Amino acid sequence: MRAETFSGYEGLKLIELPKPAVTKAKLLVRITAAGVTPLDHTILSGKFHGSKAPLVLGNEGAGVVEQGGGTDFPVGSRVMFFGTYGAFEDGTDSEWVAVRKEDLCLIPDNVDDVSAAGIPVAYLTAQVALTLAGFRAGKTVLAPAIGGSIGNAVTQLARALGAKHAMSSTTNHAKAEQAKALGFNEVVDTSSEKLGDGVRRITSGYGADIVIDGVGGEVLSEALGVLALGGSLTTLGYSASRKTTIDVTNLIVPQASIRGLNMFAQPKAAITDAWKVIVSLLKAGAIKPIVAKTFPLVEAAAALRYLVEGRPFGRVVLTI
Ligand SMILES: NC(=O)c1ccc[n+]([C@@H]2O[C@H](COP(=O)([O-])OP(=O)(O)OC[C@H]3O[C@@H](n4cnc5c(N)ncnc54)[C@H](OP(=O)(O)O)[C@@H]3O)[C@@H](O)[C@H]2O)c1
């Protein structure tokens, strides 16, 4: 499925492309599942710097090494990956992708391909963000949007790695109930309580040492108001809005800071280190990726619309 133009959902077309070439640096992966992310929507709407149409979207995926694997990734290995695919070169909404070895990670046996396809972007971003924010056991963390990929991955990682509180939020009462049923007990239902009030209630007034925010807009501005002394907010996305207004005293009084994160600008070592943590927690069953719905590849436009407009609890994945 290729975006012929960056003009919205209608730009996506099913086309035939030659199999990508295997080189010394890249091996051929037969894609079995591709994660659908808001980045696909940003690009398809013509709002992402650097992407050029026509482009096969899909920033992450899972599949089987078909050619050129070597000893680290022998032919037949199940792999998952993220990289510049679907943004600066053709991506995973496709039967085959030539993938750089350094982008690959073996899928643990206890994780199926559909779940694996939705792991790389969310969990790598979450783990890198927590590390850059100085996370360690005992810290108090807030990651808004429990049903969203970033909010959920940060919450699961922080909890598994010993956070004192791993908090999240949702604007939707039904999702708050769903979160509770899934064992997420520190979720603020902002349909009935302000984000700041909820965080102060859960932490007995302390607030959050670390906020990782992919929502932007008012959520970012309210989250700044709960930073604990010396706390930090990392902004990495804008599901609600790219713009907001902040009260500067929310930074001044607690001597807090705000920083940005761009996964396309991470050094290789940061990704390798993050994969180690993620794989070990996956193997131990301490983190569990949540898939909301799968769609066949040809329904890529419907899948993306479902993610952006339906705001499901969990990941949307294309099966190929
Ligand atoms: N900087 C990077 O390198 C990087 C890496 C990964 C992702 N991102 C970005 O991070 C952002 C989040 O990604 P994601 O995968 O977590 O998105 P997602 O899975 O689509 O989740 C977004 C969540 O945000 C909440 N939301 C949406 N619109 C809202 C609104 N108007 N007001 C309040 N909440 C709203 C919804 O939760 P409720 O319905 O529960 O309220 C929704 O489930 C995206 O912009 C993505 O592109 C950036």
**Are residues 44 and 13 in contact, defined by beta-carbon separation less than 8 angstroms?**
no
What are the tens digits of pLDDT across the range 12-36? 999 999 999 999 899 999 999 999 9
Taking CA atoms only, the protein residue closest to ligand 1 atom 37 is 145
Mutate-to-test residue for ligand 1 from 82, 239, 244, highest number of ligand atoms within 8 A of CB: 239
**Are residues 179 and 156 in contact, defined by beta-carbon separation less than 8 angstroms?**
no
Report the helix count and the strand count for the chain, using DSSP H and E.
10, 16
Q: Kindly list the distances between the CA atom of residue 55 and the CA atoms of 4, 14, 43, 62, 159, in Å, as whole numbers in the listed order.
A: 7, 12, 9, 19, 37
Q: What would the two tokens of residue 292 be?
A: 């909301």
**What Rg value do the Cα atoms of the chain yield, rounded?**
19
Q: Is residue 261 within 6 Å of ligand 1 at its C-beta? A: yes
Taking CA atoms only, the protein residue closest to ligand 1 atom 8 is 237
Taking CA atoms only, the protein residue closest to ligand 1 atom 44 is 237
Amino acid, res. 4: E
**Are residues 31 and 320 in contact, defined by beta-carbon separation less than 8 angstroms?**
yes
Q: Is residue 27 within 6 Å of ligand 1 at its C-beta? A: no
- Of all helices (H) and strands (E), which one includes residue 56? strand 55-56
Q: Is residue 235 within 6 Å of ligand 1 at its C-beta? A: no
3-state secondary structure of 187: strand
Burial label, 294 (beta-carbon count in 10 A; 0-12, 13-18, 19+)? middle
**Are residues 75 and 65 in contact, defined by beta-carbon separation less than 8 angstroms?**
yes
Closest CA to 271 of 50, 80, 139, 34: 80
- The Å distance, Cα 238 to ligand 1 centre, comes to 6
Q: Hey, which residues does 79 pair with through a beta bridge?
A: 63, 106
Q: Is residue 82 within 6 Å of ligand 1 at its C-beta? A: no
Mutate-to-test residue for ligand 1 from 45, 215, 309, highest number of ligand atoms within 8 A of CB: 215
pLDDT score recorded for residue 299: 98
pLDDT score recorded for residue 267: 97
Taking CA atoms only, the protein residue closest to ligand 1 atom 45 is 237
153 φ/ψ angles, rounded to the nearest 5 degrees? -65, -40
Q: Is residue 208 within 6 Å of ligand 1 at its C-beta? A: no
Q: Is residue 41 within 6 Å of ligand 1 at its C-beta? A: no
Residue with tokens 């492309």: 17
Q: Kindly list the distances between the CA atom of residue 31 and the CA atoms of 104, 172, 271, 278, 314, in Å, as whole numbers in the listed order.
A: 13, 34, 21, 21, 21
Taking CA atoms only, the protein residue closest to ligand 1 atom 40 is 170
Per-block mean pLDDT, blocks of 10 residues, the chain (320 long): 97 97 94 98 96 98 94 96 98 98 97 98 99 98 98 99 98 98 98 98 98 98 98 98 98 98 98 98 98 98 98 98
Q: Is residue 263 within 6 Å of ligand 1 at its C-beta? A: yes
